[in-house]
């Protein structure tokens, strides 16, 4: 594990985000899911099932379980696990152990199982999205899904459904059909919420502008907003005259500044935008040279 790289100034922001995200996930597990016996898939869900069979704190079970899964991944897949994946496994157990010590939860926060499920999954999804968006990984049943994908005809998504499905099935046998169905609902909600939150983190706007003052606008984008742009020549469908069209990608705050600037210098400019996600390249996944 390269701790020097892990704690470098460049990665400090992501490192702190991963810690915060992991803490948020730990809060959801300790305060909402475990007291209500909501085994909503994943390694944490399986750990919740095991706590009903063996009297060991979930922090220890989850650490051992994730460690076994990581080793299994190395042996069967030869998979490369980043330092952050191992680190998240460690601090997740540390956070849970601290909470178990200073704030033990013997009963659920509320008597309403659905409220516990909603808040537990919502908080967990936010935390996991922060971790994933920062380049970390919680490991867990993702590793089993990868193994299933390699040695069977099932896809990764199908493998994940199988793993989480077996965990919720176990919840039905141990806790009864009611909690089992709530756990299954939690698996479905968690999947949709994580996708929704990650899309929100990564969303940007693609801006297209047609204006007589395109060069001035382009200069504002490059020098004032620090974004790149593309200018290409097109022909007007009605006038048949050549004109410049500018395209750039930026976040919402930058778009508001650009919109105000464009309207200030050319109120007849044609401008439209579309929402995009998964942006990679100069100024987004690495700095402009």
pLDDT band at 105 (very low <50, low <70, confident <90, very high): confident
pLDDT band of residue 68 (cuts 50, 70, 90) is confident
Query: Quick one: average pLDDT of 16-33?
Result: 91
The pLDDT of residue 117:
92
Residue 219 has what pLDDT? Answer: 92
| pLDDT, greater one: 252 or 216 | 216
For the chain, domain boundaries: 8-202, 204-276
| DSSP-assigned beta bridge partners for residue 248 | 207
d(CA 168, CA 173): 9
Q: Average of pLDDT values for 58-82?
A: 78
Interatomic CA distance for residues 289 and 284, integer angstroms: 12
pLDDT score for 147: 79
User: Taking residues 4-31, what's their average pLDDT?
Assistant: 79
The CA distances from residue 158 to 13, 102, 149, 189, 278, in Å, are 34, 39, 8, 17, 23
pLDDT, average across residues 239-265: 87
Helices (H), 176-213: 177-202
Tell me how crowded residue 240 is: count the other CB atoms within 10 A of its CB.
Answer: 7
3 state SS of 177? helix
Class of domain 204-276: alpha beta
Q: Bridge partners of 210?
A: 245, 270
Q: What pLDDT does 197 receive?
A: 79
The reported pLDDT for the residue numbered 82 is 62
Identify the residue with better confidence: 112 or 201.
112
Largest interatomic CA distance in the chain? 79
């Amino acid at each position: 594990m390269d701790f020097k790289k892990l704690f470098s100034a460049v990665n400090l922001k992501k490192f702190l985000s991963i810690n915060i995200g992991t803490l948020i996930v730990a809060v959801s597990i300790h305060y909402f899911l475990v007291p209500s016996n909501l085994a909503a898939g994943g390694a944490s869900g399986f750990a919740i099932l095991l706590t009903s069979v063996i009297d060991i704190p979930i922090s220890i079970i989850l650490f051992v379980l994730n460690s076994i899964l990581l080793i299994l991944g190395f042996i069967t897949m030869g998979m490369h696990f980043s330092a952050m994946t191992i680190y998240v496994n460690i601090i997740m157990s540390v956070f849970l152990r601290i909470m178990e010590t200073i704030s033990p939860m013997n009963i659920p926060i509320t008597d309403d199982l659905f409220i516990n499920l909603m808040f537990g999954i919502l908080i967990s999804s936010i935390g996991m999205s922060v971790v994933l968006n920062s380049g970390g990984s919680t490991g867990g049943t993702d590793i089993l899904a990868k193994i299933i994908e390699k040695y069977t005809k099932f896809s990764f998504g199908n493998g994940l459904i199988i793993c989480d499905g077996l965990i919720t099935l176990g919840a039905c046998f141990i806790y009864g059909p009611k909690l089992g169905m709530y756990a299954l609902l939690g698996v479905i909600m968690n999947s949709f919420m994580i996708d929704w939150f990650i899309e929100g983190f990564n969303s940007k706007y693609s801006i297209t502008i047609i204006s007589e003052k395109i060069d001035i606008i382009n200069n504002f984008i490059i020098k004032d907003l620090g974004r790149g742009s593309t200018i290409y020549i097109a022909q007007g469908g009605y006038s048949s005259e050549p004109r410049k069209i500018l395209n750039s990608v930026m976040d919402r705050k930058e778009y508001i500044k650009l919109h105000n600037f464009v309207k200030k210098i050319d109120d007849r400019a044609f401008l439209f935008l579309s929402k995009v996600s998964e942006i990679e390249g100069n100024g987004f996944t690495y700095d402009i040279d």
